[in-house]
Amino acid sequence: MFKKGQEWYREEEIADSYDDSRFTGGGKVLDFREKEMLLSLVDPKDKNILDIASGTGRFAELLSNEGARVIGLDASKEMLMHNKVECVQGDALNLPFKDKSFDVTTSMRFFHLLETEDIEDFITEVERVTSEKFVFETLHPFSLRLTYQWMLPQDSSLYSNSLLKKKFDDISVVKKANYHEKFIIPYGIYQILPYDIGKSLNRFDERFSEKQGWLTSTVYWELHF
């Protein structure tokens, strides 16, 4: 369960180079847009927020700077060494918090590390500790990510929106599930581009991913409890 994702991010050199290898050059555009997207879905002011799979804390720090009280949870202490908010090392499937400790839970770039058979347990566990909503992102299978997915060293599960919508509809604690599709150009491509090219490509990407759903690689979900 989660073995591949957990093992990969426990490598010290992977954790130490996580931010630099992804969010410099064209990756800066990605970082900016992901943060902008999260803030459009979460109003952090005065909220208690749990950030699951918080990693080096990109989103935890953002939410904290925007006025939330944030706890970051991650399985890898090597990733958490870089995280500047209050953190707990732990497993997403067994959260070490009391019922309804948080208003909102977030989890970015994590769902693809989940095994399909763990989805229901994971959502139920998140709902146990969360009173309002859960915001997270998933990766879509019918996208340009398929051009390089096979080369990646760690395993990823790509889920279609229809499969997930059906799953969430069947989980009784979920009252409503909304999603927003973004990024025709997938993360891995932005990361290898120079900043200026990434910026220009992003203008095209924003315009077209708003207009049509197919080919988008990233999906942002809000589950209301």
- Residue 96's CB is within 10 A of a number of other CB atoms, namely 11
Q: 2 or 32: whose CB is closer to ligand SAM? A: 2
DSSP letter assigned to residue 156 = -
- Comparing CA positions, the residue from 9, 30, 5 lying closest to residue 192 is 30
With binding defined as CB under 6 A, does residue 91 bind ligand SAM? yes
Place of tokens 């426990």: 10
Check binding of 58 to ligand SAM (CB under 6 A).
yes
Crossing angle for the helix pair 58-65 and 27-41, to the nearest 10 degrees: 50
66 belongs to the binding site for ligand SAM (CB under 6 A): no
In the complex with ligand SAM, which residue's Cβ is closer, 65 or 212? 65
Residue 92 interacts with ligand SAM (CB under 6 A): yes or no: yes
Our finding on whether 75 is near ligand SAM (CB under 6 A) is yes
Contact, 36 vs 58, CB < 8 A? Answer: no
CB of 68 to ligand SAM, least distance (A): 15
- Could you say whether residue 109 binds ligand SAM (CB under 6 A)? yes
Nearer to ligand SAM, 55 or 186 (CB): 55
Show the site string, 133-162: x = touches ligand SAM by CB under 6 A, - = not.
------------------------------
User: Is 55 near ligand SAM (CB under 6 A)?
Assistant: yes
Q: Is 76 in the site for ligand SAM (CB under 6 A)?
A: yes
Residue 42 binds to ligand SAM (criterion: CB under 6 A): no
CA 184-180-127 angle, to 5 degrees, is 130
Enumerate residues 6+ apart whose C-beta is below 8 A from 52: 73, 74, 92, 95, 105, 106, 107, 110, 126
From residue 9, alpha-carbon distances to 5, 13, 15, 78, 110 in Å are: 6, 9, 6, 7, 11
The residues binding ligand SAM (CB under 6 A) are 2, 5-6, 9, 53-55, 58-59, 74-76, 79, 91-92, 108-110, 113
